[in-house]
Amino acid sequence: MHKDRYSYDFILILLAVGLMFLLSLLLLGSTFYFKLLGLGQLAPAQKGLYEGVLNRLAAALLGGILLVLALCIPRRFLPWKFLYYVALALGLLFITGWIVRDWRLALILVLLPTGALQLITLILLITGRKLHFHYEGFGKKFGSCFIHLGLVLLALSLLLIPYLGFKSALFWTAAFFLVSGLLCSYKEG
Amino acid sequence: MTTEFLALSKVLSVLKWLGPCWELILFLVGLSGIGVIFYLGKNPARAQKVGRLYLGASALTLLGVFLTLCYLHLSIYQTVVLKLPPDLAHLVNQWLLGMGKNYAFQLPLYHPSQPPRFAPPPWLGDEKYLFWFLIYSLLAYWAWPKLSKNFFRYGLLFFSALHLLLLSLFFHPLSNPLPEFLAEISPWWAPLSAHQRIIVFLKLYPRLIFYYNAPYMWIHPPLLLIAYATLELFFVFCLGMFMYEDLQIEKLAYFTARPGYLALTLGMLVGLPWALEAWGSNWWWDPKISSSLMMWVVFSTYFHARLYLSRRGMWRFTALLGILSFVAMVFTVIASYLFGGQHTVH
């Protein structure tokens, strides 16, 4: 049972690494595509079209990463059988958001509950509940929670730029969580 | 104004002969680094002492060049002052107030008691390579005694020598200092009519506020340059990880990756809001930004993969991701030259 659990974690990590690697390939491809199209000289409408395609591709990959995260976070405190339901619910939210409006709404709909789950994990950790982590040490666990919560908030702050502006409190909060999370997780070596 | 111009010209004329002298020293120290690698190949027993001595010498040389550049920047701060006669100051302030009503941002008003001064950070243009290589040499000097295998020593020495040769042959931060900045401010020194002076002031003032003196220019680039320097060291250790399954090497790689990742994350976070503000929606999918994000994502995969090092195949896979992070960093640097976009280096 113990070994199986770690296998499950291992597969999730590999999935996350694979999706992140695909995202980096998309970013690399976009760099070359920029040069190929001579995008600097393109008319704004054409440029918008190109950016729209890339935004949708990146959103799909980010959605995938968030779903993996949604399988990762609650496993710290929920029984295993619930994880699939959580992932399924988030996946449905993502698809619904995309169909109803666009990729932006789809991501926001997934980010909000993911952030809430991360926050619950953080609170449970602080209150001393026994949670499942692959590594030992309070600093590392605390740091991991902070980093992932920071990433969720950062993505939200970027998606909400039209409403919150560039240097929003949400952005700086995300930056604080990310940096202090990294510092905490490094503290214990 | 003439006195200030003369003072800066004096510093620049000193640099005209001092710059090539420093470059010659950089070239000779760089060349001797290649010699040291060959020498250590034949006398590996002396690697510990000779190599560290060389790294110390290269760090001191770079520090000397950097301090000389800092002196130039200090002189710029002392001499390049956008001072206006009182009647023009009033007109400029009226214009600035008018502009503030039409745009989302408001430039600070001109205060005759505190005329704006240029305070460009010492990592503008090709200067950034000097700062990056200086950080690397200090890190390499620190890491040297912790190394147990000559493989790493040669790697560290190779990068150190390469840096000095690159600085002396391709980048010329001292013999041709700040070409774009000096070209930009040169009209300010010319004899100008009142009308022309206002026009030049209004061209230079936003550049001073939003670029040269901007707080993010003092934080964002150095953090990224520190990350680049640590990534080089990290690359050497990841190469070693790929060749030897030694936990000590892995620890060194992780120990180097941590500050690098922190500096990279913080640097990108600091740059982000300013990039969005300055470039708006055009920022998305800019080649430099895309490649930087790619580097960050690949670097993140290293940390995730590392959690399962003991699994079969994961040791080499993790090392490979570390090596790819370095390759992504090199690509990001080259992207500034090869691709168009907001960060293009002309």
Nearest-CA distance from B289 to chain A in Å? 9
CB contact under 8 A, A17 and B305: yes
Percentage of residues in chain B with pLDDT exceeding 90?
42
Helix (H, G, I), strand (E, B) or coil at B284: coil
Q: Note whether A177 and A147 are within 8 A (CB).
A: yes
* Mean pLDDT over each residue of chain B, to the nearest integer: 87
* Residue A100 to residue A122: CA distance in whole angstroms: 32
Closest-CA residue of B relative to A172 is: B269
Residues in chain B: 346
For residue B17, the number of C-alpha atoms closer than 13 Å in the C-beta half-sphere is 3
pLDDT number for residue B117: 93
Closest-CA residue of A relative to B303 is: A17
Closest-CA residue of B relative to A36 is: B339
- Nearest Cβ partner of A24 from B272, B297, B307? B297
- pLDDT > 60? residue B312: yes
CB contact under 8 A, B285 and A30: yes
- pLDDT > 80? residue B292: yes
Q: One-letter amino acid identity for B294? A: M
Q: pLDDT grade, residue B254 (50/70/90)?
A: very high
Closest-CA residue of A relative to B275 is: A166
Q: How far is CA A3 from CA A6, B258, B315, in A?
A: 5, 29, 19
- Nearest Cβ partner of A31 from B266, B287, B307? B287
CB pairs under 8 A between A and B: 94
Closest-CA residue of A relative to B290 is: A27
- The secondary structure of chain A as a DSSP string is -HHHHHHHHHHHHHHHHHHHHHHHHHHHHHHHHHHHHTGGGS-HHHHHHHHHHHHHHHHHHHHHHHHHHHHHSGGGTS-HHHHHHHHHHHHHHHHHHHHHT-HHHHHHHHHHHHHHHHHHHHHHHHTT-----SS--HHHHHHHHHHHHHHHHHHHHHHTHHHH-TT-HHHHHHHHHHHHHHHHHHHT-
Cβ burial B158-197 (10 Å sphere, 16+ → b, else e):
ebbbebbbebbeebbbbeebbeebeebbeebbeeeeeeeb
pLDDT number for residue A41: 67
Is any Cβ of chain A less than 8 angstroms from the Cβ of B321?
A: yes
Q: pLDDT grade, residue B233 (50/70/90)?
A: very high
Q: What is the pLDDT of residues B21-67, one digit of tens each?
A: 999 999 999 999 999 888 887 877 777 788 889 999 999 999 999 99
Summarize the confidence of residues B231-259 as an average pLDDT.
90
Cβ burial A59-92 (10 Å sphere, 16+ → b, else e):
bbbbbbbbbbbbbbbbbbbbeeeebeebbeebbe
pLDDT number for residue B162: 95
Q: How far is CA B210 from CA A111, B128, B286, in A?
A: 33, 19, 20
Domain boundaries, chain A: 2-104
Chain A residues inside the 8 Å CB shell of B261? 182
Nearest-CA distance from B333 to chain A in Å? 13
Is any Cβ of chain A less than 8 angstroms from the Cβ of B266?
A: yes
Its pTM stands at 0.88
* Residue A120 to residue A141: CA distance in whole angstroms: 13
Q: pLDDT grade, residue B346 (50/70/90)?
A: very low
Backbone φ and ψ for B81, nearest 5 degrees, come out as: -120, 130
Q: pLDDT grade, residue A2 (50/70/90)?
A: very low
Radius of gyration from C-alpha coordinates of chain B:
23
* Residue A48 to residue B38: CA distance in whole angstroms: 55
Quick count: other Cβ atoms within 10 Å of Cβ B90? 13
Closest CA to A116 of A78, A73, A171: A73
* Nearest-5° Cα angle at B304, B299 to B306: 95
- Nearest Cβ partner of B287 from A34, A51, A134? A34
Is any Cβ of chain A less than 8 angstroms from the Cβ of B335?
A: yes
Among A91-105, A127-141, A175-189, B305-319, which is the least confidently predicted range? A127-141
Closest-CA residue of B relative to A168 is: B273
Question: What residues form DSSP beta bridges with B117?
Answer: B81
Interface test with A, best of B248, B301, B327 (most A CBs within 10 A): B301
- pLDDT > 80? residue B283: no
Q: What is the pLDDT of residues A86-119, one digit of tens each?
A: 888 888 988 999 899 888 888 899 889 888 888 8
- Nearest Cβ partner of B297 from A23, A50, A166? A23
Chain B residues inside the 8 Å CB shell of A20? 297-298, 300-301, 304
Q: What is the pLDDT of residues B76-87, one digit of tens each?
A: 999 888 888 888
- Inter-helix orientation angle B287-306/A2-37, to 10°: 170
CB contact under 8 A, A28 and B301: no
Chain B residues inside the 8 Å CB shell of A182? 258, 261-262, 265
- Nearest Cβ partner of A182 from B265, B284, B305? B265
* Nearest-5° Cα angle at B327, B326 to B333: 90
Q: What is the pLDDT of residues B158-180, one digit of tens each?
A: 999 999 999 999 988 888 888 89
Percentage of residues in chain A with pLDDT exceeding 90?
11
Summarize the confidence of residues B131-158 as an average pLDDT.
89
* Residue A168 to residue A147: CA distance in whole angstroms: 19
B105 sits in the region (left: phi over 0; alpha: psi -120 to 50; else beta) called beta
CB contact under 8 A, A27 and B262: no
ipTM of predicted complex:
0.83
For residue B178, the number of C-alpha atoms closer than 13 Å in the C-beta half-sphere is 23
Summarize the confidence of residues B341-345 as an average pLDDT.
58
* Mean pLDDT over each residue of chain A, to the nearest integer: 80
Q: Which of residues 136-155 of A touch B (CB under 8 A)?
A: 154
Closest CA to B185 of B72, B81, B70, B115: B81
Tracing tokens 């760089």 back to the chain, one arrives at: B30
Nearest-CA distance from A74 to chain B in Å? 18
